[in-house]
A and B are shown apart, each in its own frame.
Chain A
Amino acid sequence: MIFVESLPAIPGFQSGGLLGHLVQTGFGGFYDGMVHSVVTPEDGMVMVALGLLSALGGKDRARVLVVAMPLAWFVAGAGALMFPSVGPPPLVPTLGFGMVGLLVAFNQVLPGTVFKMLVIALACIHGAASGGAMRETGLGWLGLSGSCVAVFVMVSLLPACLADIRKPAARIALRVGGSWLAAIAMLMIGWAIRSS
């Protein structure tokens, strides 16, 4: 049974509390960390956004995503675990997946190097936030490892399903998904401004 122990009133907008959902699966820290990344909306959306962007770019981009994202996530998470001051400013994760959503909506296929840098940058931002949450919730290295495995699974499955899509209508469906992500990010930014 999964029990959501704490759910901040406005997740994603509280400094230090970013992505701070502690989920107790009953199976230990590793699985708690896995579920944490899956049920944290900001994490889920950046994975979906980058999955869509890689799918637009083809299999090469998908391979970069599968390797670079979990690794960068772990490195940044480890940094946040070891150094409490490491962590993204509020709204940066939201801006990140919103920007990727816009790129998808406008059908932008980034050059390989730029895509690689974007993946690493966003993985570092979310990984640092995730590492901070693991430190705060006491899940530590085990939780961070679970979180990275969840990221690997997610960014493997999504592009695997989508990267071979070549039908124009299906590609435009991906773009609709990107526009939804961008819209969600814009609303979240507006919400954060109002809340502050």
Chain B
Amino acid sequence: MTHSYDSLFAATGRFIAHASHHDAGGGLLSGLSHPVSGADHVLAMVAVGLWGAQLGRPAVWALPVAFPIAMALGGMLGLTGIPLPGVEIGIAVSAIVLGIMVLAAARPPLWVAAVLVGVFALFHGHAHGTELPPGANGTLYSIGFVISTGLLHAVGIAIGLIHRYDWGKSALRGAGAMVAAGGALFLYQAIA
């Protein structure tokens, strides 16, 4: 993943190095940190939460249920070496589309939203699956990875709760615009 928080990790280098020493071969801490190490992943996963909060029940829960399962399926494909074309482009497009959905306050049927999120989750999962460090502790890594992804959704949902206020509706749509703009930047980087 090219869009990493290099400066952040550089600043916390001592902690990360210390953690890695005890986190034999990449375990729970590696799994927890991997989903947040790519800004494109973070944007898309937070956007899932934002959109879910905007859609309200039952989507606010259905989307975070659909995403991890589809993402893990993509992760399985990546781990087993089954290729998925255009992964980086798919990830960038996911941020664009999800951002636009939030910006437009789109309200498709629940199954459409779930399928859309699920398809994008496949790309994210596949990227994570192919990037998993060799020799890592598979069990603990998987646990940390899924928890971290779920927490990113929770952050998105928590932010999206501003939707209940009048000013919050506009702010949320503004956040959607920023997510879409970020996705466009990542798409440019993926293509260029």
Interface residues, chain A, CB within 8 Å of chain B?
Answer: 7, 9-13, 41-42, 45, 102, 105, 168-169, 172-173, 175-176, 178-180, 182-195
Contacts and interface: CB of A to CB of B under 8 A. Distances in A.
- How would you classify the secondary structure of chain B's contact residues: helix, strand, loop or mixed? helix
Given A190-B78, A194-B79, A41 B72 contact: no
B51 interface: no
Given A176-B150, A180-B68, A191-B132, A9 B73 contact: no
A42 B143 CA distance: 10
Contacts, number: 100
Interface of B: 24-25, 57-58, 61, 64-66, 68-69, 71-73, 75-81, 129, 132, 135, 137-143, 145-147, 149-150
A131 B94 CA distance: 47
A42 B66 CA distance: 23
A186 B61 contact: no
A183 B149 CA distance: 11
B137 A10 contact: yes
Contacts of A7: 24, 137
Contacts of A169: 57, 61
A12 B138 contact: yes
Contacts of B129: 187, 190
Given A190-B79, A191-B79, A193-B79, A180 B146 contact: yes
Among A13, A172, A179, the most chain B Cβ lie within 10 Å of the Cβ of A179
- How would you classify the secondary structure of chain A's contact residues: helix, strand, loop or mixed? helix
Among B25, B65, B146, the most chain A Cβ lie within 10 Å of the Cβ of B65
A182 B25 contact: no
B146 A184 contact: yes
Contacts of A11: 137, 139
Contacts of A178: 65
B139 A186 contact: no
A186 B132 contact: no
A7 to B, nearest CB: 6
Contacts of A41: 139-140, 143
B139 A180 contact: no
Among B139, B140, B149, the most chain A Cβ lie within 10 Å of the Cβ of B139
B150 A180 contact: yes
